[in-house]
Amino acid sequence: MIAAVRAAGVAVAVADVELEPMAIAIGEAWAHEVVRTLRAVDREIIGAWPGTLREARLRIRVAVRNKLDLDALDQLARIAYVAARRNWHDISEPDPER
């Protein structure tokens, strides 16, 4: 089954609807992990999301643990990345140098 999801205003087709919520949860947990790590070393939560799509792909691969075709992996990684970035922006302060 193919489902259309909205990620950052862009429709993304994902082959397995059941993996969408997992990808969102991975992204949200990733953002919170980065925030906790930075706060633990007294760093401010400022500016743009520091994560990358490459990191998102790795997190999806670790969570799924079975082979995904490259399109599905990229789509789930984008969903996780967008969720992480959205959560980061909900928490972070604007960069004062911009």
Mind listing the pLDDT tens digit for each residue in 24-71?
999 999 999 999 999 999 999 999 999 999 999 999 999 988 878 889
d(CA 57, CA 73): 7
| 96 belongs to a structural domain | no
Environment class of residue 31 by beta-carbon count within 10 Å: exposed (0-12), middle (13-18) or buried (19+)?
buried
| 60 belongs to a structural domain | yes
**Number of independent structural domains in the chain:** 1
pLDDT of 45 reads: 94
What residues make up the domain containing 86?
Answer: 3-91
| 73 belongs to a structural domain | yes
| 98 belongs to a structural domain | no
Does the model's pTM come out above 0.85?
no
| 76 belongs to a structural domain | yes
| 75 belongs to a structural domain | yes
Label residues 63-93 b or e (16+ Cβ within 10 Å = b). ebeeebeeebbbbbbbbbbbbbbbbbeeebe
| 97 belongs to a structural domain | no
Q: Is 54 left (phi over 0), alpha (psi -120 to 50) or beta?
A: alpha
pLDDT of 10 reads: 42
| 54 belongs to a structural domain | yes
